[in-house]
Amino acid sequence: MDIQQRFERLSGRQREVLALVAKGLTNNEIGTVLGISPTTVRTHVTAILGLLEVTNRTEATGLVASWEAGPERVERVLARPAIVVLPLTPLGDDPRVRTVADGVTSDLGCMFARYCWFPVIAQCSVSRDDADAGSAAAGARLGARFLVGGTLRRGKTGWRLVIHVDDAESGGARLWSERYDCTDEDLFDVLDDLVEVIVATAYPVLIHHTAAPRSCAPNHLDAWELAHAGMALRAARGRESNGKAQALFDRALERDPTLVLAHFGLGLASYDALLNQWEPLDDARARIASCGEQCLNLAPHGAEGHFLLARYAQTHRNPASARVALESAIARNPSFATAHALLAQILQFTGDPEGAMRRMRHAVRLGPRSFVAGLATLHFVREEYGEALDGALRALAAAPSYSYAQGLAAASAWWLGDLPQATALHVTLERDHPDFQPSTFAATYGPETNGVARYQRALEALQSARLGASGA
């Protein structure tokens, strides 16, 4: 009997109990959440173990993770109405208000994804233009029904946060609105409560699923601001901006060593440095692993640590371990668009093209304006060079100094037989990133892998042609 059939044997109440068991709650804690006695919980757990054909809670939790990360389960989640958190509008001229507003927006999106089992549109696909467009237009553009927005103002003694939830399908009707006044110190506690209230208001049937353990609130507001500033710099995907981002993450961790966002950001920036050959391979790998472990220790219920360990496994050419880690990340956060995109690449490289495209569709559903380079990579591996070139050029339009995308565009043009365009793109790559070596890229990701080998072959052919022309 497969996993799906075993889960279908559970009653509604048993599924509620199992969901809380998988979150690590004790019988007493489950009883408190569901309003039943610990003895009744124990009876349910015994029945659940029998129906799932496992012997203990650990095995049951592992089965839940496998089931929740499966593509069928993810597609059921993605079929539900989506939530999007629009950029909060900063009021006043204080530049710090804009910084905090952007950070609060990002945190709200992350918390929704963690607390809510409905899909959440990735923040990298949302812009301030969406907030200005009106709920109905923004919802149609982003493929979301429920839109979370609001304003942030700073006064003499603290902050005023106004949040609302609109329904795009009803023309932008306002479902809920609330105002919160708080000091610097309690802003993050308000956010935790706020997310639970919004989820409970928009989706009453999901109230029992909001009992996931909370992330630790940052101990220092300046550390949180530094980490969000680092995230913004990292998104530029340039060598200089990457170095500045890593410096900001380090400063944030000096102030607050428990800040998961800073560990996660440092791990992401370290991977970017590895991919684009901006720093020694072993140094970047060690930092990715360290950041992943820190995230797992500080937020074991979160997806961040599992994602970073997947990146680490990927750089060691261990796709099996990367896949397991990514499935664990998706089980904890089915709206983790970047994890879906990376899993698509892993599946394509390991000979599952249909599964790869399925996962990439999940990523694009959650990030309708993102994952351009990831999708271009998928097309390249599938030998769809025209689509790969188009995607790589669009990625470069957003981040002109993205060396991996420069190489991907040049390689795609070469395989298309467009030597003038391939040469021009390769000249730009060598000018902007003279240390970028195709052989190093291949050694990192596996020269035996078809897509990697073709990437290396094209760039080395262009490199040889350039050297031959300069020698003549």
Tell me, yes or no, whether 65 and 91 share the same domain.
no
Identify the pLDDT of residue 168.
Answer: 84
Number of domains in the chain: 3
In angstroms, the CA 455 to CA 40 distance is: 59
| Rg for the chain, CA atoms, rounded | 23
Three-state DSSP at 138 gives helix
Identify the pLDDT of residue 342.
Answer: 93
Residue 369 burial class via C-beta count within 10 angstroms: exposed 0-12, middle 13-18, buried 19 and up = middle
Write out the two tokens for 383. 């030998």
Identify the pLDDT of residue 211.
Answer: 36
| Spans in the chain with pLDDT lower than 50 | 116, 202-217, 472
In angstroms, the CA 470 to CA 472 distance is: 5
Tell me, yes or no, whether 7 and 56 share the same domain.
yes
Helix axis angle, 372-381 to 353-366, nearest 10°: 170
Specify if 330 maps to a domain: no
Strand pairing of 146-154 and 159-167? antiparallel
The DSSP 8-state label assigned to residue 120 in this structure reads B
Identify the pLDDT of residue 209.
Answer: 31
Three-state DSSP at 261 gives helix
Specify if 134 maps to a domain: yes
Domain containing 148 — which CATH number?
3.40.50.10070
Closest CA to 77 of 310, 306, 304, 330: 330
Identify the pLDDT of residue 401.
Answer: 85
Identify the pLDDT of residue 11.
Answer: 86
Identify the pLDDT of residue 73.
Answer: 66
In angstroms, the CA 200 to CA 43 distance is: 28
Identify the pLDDT of residue 4.
Answer: 74
Identify the pLDDT of residue 216.
Answer: 47
Show which of 21, 40, 69 is a domain's final residue: 69
Residue 268 burial class via C-beta count within 10 angstroms: exposed 0-12, middle 13-18, buried 19 and up = buried
| Helix (H) / strand (E) containing 385 | helix 385-398
Show which of 183, 210, 237 is a domain's final residue: 210
The DSSP 8-state label assigned to residue 340 in this structure reads H
In which domain, by residue range, is 24 found? 3-69
Question: Hey, which bits of 155-245 come out as E strands?
Answer: 159-167, 173-182
pLDDT tens for residues 184-193?
777 666 666 6
Write out the two tokens for 417. 């037989």
pLDDT tens for residues 403-416?
999 999 999 999 99
The DSSP 8-state label assigned to residue 35 in this structure reads T
